[in-house]
Amino acid sequence: MMKSVRIGVIGCGTIGKRVADAVRLQSDMQLVGIGLRTPNPTALSAHLSGIPLFCTDPMRFDRFEKGGLPCAGGLRDLLSQVDVILDCTQAGEGAKRLALYQEMGVKSIFQGGEKHATTGLTFSTFGNFEDAIGRSAVRVGSCNTTGLVRLLSTLDRYWGVKHAEGSLVRCSTDPDKAENGLPNGAAPVFGLSHHGPDAQLVMPTLSIFTQAVAVPMFFSHVQMMSVKLNKPADRDEVMNVLCNTPRILVESHRKVGKTTAQLSHYYAETPRMRGDRQELLLWEESIVVEGDQLHAMTSIDMQCITIPETIDCIRAVMGLETERNRCMWQTDSALGIQKHEVCYQPSSLTV
């Protein structure tokens, strides 16, 4: 039996705590510990669940002692015990540690806040899974990039995508970062937003234009998509493909709600941990197909949509699984978001 891959997580915030929980659900992975600079309530929760804590700043060891949290060591101590480090810290912070990760012989996976140039590869399971196999350092695409690639790569696989345009309505902050209130106004990004070019890092031949605006909310992002296909499509066929594609949900607003707040409250009442929705959701009523033109509205839970891709990335860089669909089945089954097994077979659908 293959030995479990040893995983360390840096950062215990919105993404870090979710990645740590996801790793613990995988049968072929072992969470060695979480590294962080300063103790916080999330770190206490991790400690109470039996996860060792490591201090990444040697000048802050005393804060762990004062907070009553045992510290298992420093950053090098954590790195000496792991095969892969998942750096989930704020944008720009992870890049500062890349040289140390390389020095210690540890593979590293960063989140979308880091620049593409940090690793030279932006990863999405749906778009370029094979490119990450055996890599020493990878950046997982951002929440919006992940959602765009899931949808557009699926449409491209069956109908071909000639051009896509997206208008993104972004949350101005995360729920756990809104202690100072929300701004009273919308903040547009003028011209081309970074989301389209980020998707092209994963799908190089994709023609896409995106624009974005940040608004005073924190439940989930909304993407309004218009896609020109290479050939005409039938709405029923599109619905069938999307409903049978892993990590994509198609739901009626009568069930889950029309607003992002209603949507969040709906999933908060389900057995899912924290009410997280790791799938891309499309409102059924928003899907309009007119010949070769498709329009749809999607919702992205920015706190957790990248978690499955991060787990897939671990398997890719370590060579635990080299076939995309098998990797997705293993990840999704462990996370409890799997669809029927036939949905993970490469040729399960025809249109």
Give catalytic residues, as residue numbers.
143
Distances (CA, A) of 110 to 46, 117, 176, 202, 274: 21, 12, 21, 15, 23
> Do the beta carbons of residue 307 and residue 301 sit within 8 Å?
no
Q: At what angle do helices 14-24 and 41-48 cross, to 10 degrees?
A: 10
Q: Catalogue the long-range contacts made by 67-75 (C-beta closer than 8 Å, 24 or more residues apart).
A: 67/39, 69/39, 69/43, 69/44, 72/33, 75/10, 75/35, 75/100
Residue 218, SS3 per DSSP: coil
Strands (DSSP E) found in the chain: 5-10, 29-36, 53-55, 84-87, 107-110, 122-123, 137-140, 161-171, 187-189, 208-215, 221-229, 248-251, 280-283, 288-290, 293-300
Gyration radius of the chain's alpha carbons: 20
Q: What is the DSSP code (8-state) at residue 216?
A: S
Helix (H) or strand (E) holding 2, with range, is none
Contact (Cβ atoms closer than 8 angstroms) between residue 163 and residue 178: no
Backbone angles phi, psi at 22, to 5 degrees: -65, -40
Q: What are the CA-CA distances from residue 19 to residues 11, 22, 85, 295, 301 (Å)?
A: 10, 5, 11, 32, 15
